[in-house]
Amino acid sequence: MLTSIEGKSVIVTGGSKGIGRGIASVFAAQGAKVTIAARNEADLQKAAAEISGDVRYGVCDVSDWDSVKAMVDGAAEAQGGLDIMCANAGAFPQTKIVDMDPAEWDGVMATNLRSSFLCVKACIPHFEKAGKGRVVLTSSITGPVTGFPGWSHYGASKAGQLGFLKTAAMELSRYNTTINAVMPGNIYTEGLQDLGQEYLDTMAASIPLKRLGAVEDIGNAALFFASDEAGYITGQQIVVDGGQIIPESLEAIEEI
């Protein structure tokens, strides 16, 4: 049993859908004050109304500094300070290198990697004021561990988050703040559903636990990193993938 995070002030970017919504639900269920952030206000409104607990929203483009800073400052003011930032928003368009427009590469880097830097930077004054803080990044197995055709930009951005993490952990220690990353495998979300049933079925068959992950599986890992009990862990990452990266070959998975 982890020490309660009841009353803690939390931001979850990308909290209107998928994994972010799952993280927000897990924290809200534990009694935290949660701000979910994304670009589409209608989706945010709907999610904030549907997640039970103390949940509000902030419209924000995580790739834009002014937008991130305004959202973070607004959430801290509304929630009486800031304890935990879950920098989760991300995008995963699938385009092979040969067909990729350089602008698409830049867009994915901005949404997935620049956003990690912007979210951390915006939180520092609040963590400094509080004398402590927690950051949890949502990275991926794709990039740091695995590859998939069409996701060169995505994989690079997700590996880049882990590179950012190491130095950020050192710099944030000055503010008594930890930063860690969750690396999801294939988690059942709206974004993943867009890739089609065939993709979902093939993926489930390649996972030792024989199912896609649930968004709460990632929320629970984020909750651990945000807990008092994880206070001496920083600059680290955990894979949450049902064992997906373990099999050495197709034969290995068929042997089960």
Active site residue ranges: 154
Q: Which is nearer to ligand NAP, 42 or 256 (CB)?
A: 42
Least distance between ligand NAP and beta carbon 176 (Å) = 26
Sheet holding 237-240, edge to edge: 54-59, 33-38, 9-13, 84-87, 133-138, 177-184, 237-240
Give the span between the Cα atoms of 203 and 212, in whole angstroms.
7
Give the 3-state secondary structure of residue 215.
Answer: helix
Residue 174, beta-bridge partner list = none
Q: Write the DSSP assignment of 35-58 as a string of letters.
A: EEEES-HHHHHHHHHHS-SEEEEE
The single residue among 32, 62, 113, 226 that binds ligand NAP, judged by CB under 6 A, is 62
Q: Does residue 90 interact with ligand NAP by CB under 6 A?
A: yes
Residues 181-240 that bind ligand NAP (CB under 6 A): 184, 186-187, 189-192
Q: Does residue 93 interact with ligand NAP by CB under 6 A?
A: no
Quickly count: other Cβ atoms within 10 Å of residue 210's Cβ. 12
The single residue among 29, 31, 39, 109 that binds ligand NAP, judged by CB under 6 A, is 39
| Tokens 């001496």 found at | 232
* 182 sits in which H/E element: strand 177-184
The single residue among 9, 25, 35, 63 that binds ligand NAP, judged by CB under 6 A, is 63
Residue 212 DSSP symbol: P
Q: Does residue 88 interact with ligand NAP by CB under 6 A?
A: yes
Q: Which stretch binds ligand NAP (CB under 6 A): 11-19, 77-85, 116-124, 127-135?
A: 11-19
Q: Which is nearer to ligand NAP, 175 or 184 (CB)?
A: 184
Q: How many residues bind ligand NAP (CB under 6 A)?
A: 30
Give the span between the Cα atoms of 252 and 256, in whole angstroms.
7
Which residues are at the interface with ligand NAP (CB under 6 A)?
Answer: 13-14, 16-20, 38-40, 43, 60-63, 88-92, 111, 138, 140, 184, 186-187, 189-192
